Amino acid sequence: MPCNFRCASVAHSIFSVVPARPDLTSKGKPPCCKSNQRTFSVRGTGTPKRNTQKFGQIKGGSRKLTLLATASAQPLERLPDNVTNSKVWEEMSTYLTSQKVKATSPSEAYKRTTGFFKYKLIDIRPESDFSQVHAPGATNVQLYRPLTSWDVKSTLARVTLAMLTPNIPAVEENPAFLEEMRKVAAKGDRIIVVCDSGGTLEPTASLKYGKQSRSLIAAFLLLKNGYKVFHILIGLKPKVQFPAVPT
């Protein structure tokens, strides 16, 4: 038998609660109302507000769980081994986009580093490249360092990284990247990260999640650790954009 009573838990003030007809008693209530002390009908008086209360998972529903874009407040200390994997990049790109990471041009980056807020320009290229030439005021914190071991795991990692660094000698992730970052920038500082390719989060016909780059990978790791990050869109071409700066 269908229920003729409209029973509800009133969540917002936009609903008005109207007492049920006085001639109804608990004796004649259908099963859905027997646990209530009074009977109410609910009349909507406006557009319901979005209910932000967290409820349990709906039966039959699902939630995507990922390694990278979790809701956990725990910082991410290291990058995943398969950083160039398309699914991993999809998650990284989605996270960066959700955090509204902004791209900036080299000229705009220079204005930001010399302006009122004093953004810090972090050049994450290998130290050997940085020592040859770099932008004025840049600080080098290399995301990848020369390979120190040729064990199987390191060799496989190098094969993966070769996709991002084809013209750079064998490299591996710098395990001290975050430690070195903490020495030159606090979490509240505004950071601009730069490599020599730039990368982009803008989708293209062939790259749905944008073009991956070392600066965007670094931006992901820094965001996960509380930094405010920009990245230089077209990458740093210091030999063209800046004069050589001796170290």
Asked if residue 120 and residue 39 are part of one domain, the reply reads no
Q: What is the pLDDT of residues 156-202, one digit of tens each?
A: 555 555 555 555 556 788 999 999 999 999 988 889 999 888 888 99
* Dihedral sign for Cα atoms in the order 237, 79, 137, 169: negative
Which phi and psi angles does 120 have, rounded to 5°? -100, 125
Is 155 among the domain residues?
yes
Asked if residue 199 and residue 107 are part of one domain, the reply reads yes
Our answer to whether residue 32 is catalytic in this structure is: no
Is 63 among the domain residues?
no
pLDDT at 9 over 60: no
Is 247 among the domain residues?
no
Asked if residue 135 and residue 220 are part of one domain, the reply reads yes
Q: What is the pLDDT of residues 37-82, one digit of tens each?
A: 444 333 444 544 444 333 233 233 333 333 343 334 466 777 777 7
Asked if residue 159 and residue 37 are part of one domain, the reply reads no
Asked if residue 209 and residue 124 are part of one domain, the reply reads yes
Is 226 among the domain residues?
yes
Please identify which of the residues 3, 7, 32, 195 carries the catalytic annotation.
Answer: 195
Range of the domain at 15: 1-45
Is 73 among the domain residues?
no
Tell me, what's the pLDDT at 182? 95
Is 167 among the domain residues?
yes
Asked if residue 123 and residue 229 are part of one domain, the reply reads yes
Asked if residue 109 and residue 180 are part of one domain, the reply reads yes
Asked if residue 121 and residue 11 are part of one domain, the reply reads no
CATH value at residue 183? 3.40.250.10
Asked if residue 34 and residue 95 are part of one domain, the reply reads no
Contact 231, 192 (CB under 8 A): yes
Is 77 among the domain residues?
no
Is 75 among the domain residues?
no
Q: What is the pTM of this model?
A: 0.61
Q: How many domains would you assign to the chain?
A: 2
Q: Which of 247, 73, 84, 229 has the alpha carbon at shortest distance from 156? A: 84
Which phi and psi angles does 206 have, rounded to 5°? -100, -15
Asked if residue 145 and residue 224 are part of one domain, the reply reads yes
Could you write out the DSSP letters of every residue in 154-193? HHHHHHHHTTT-TTS-SEEE-TTHHHHHHHH--TTSEEEE
Q: What is the pLDDT of residues 79-96, one digit of tens each?
A: 777 777 889 999 999 999
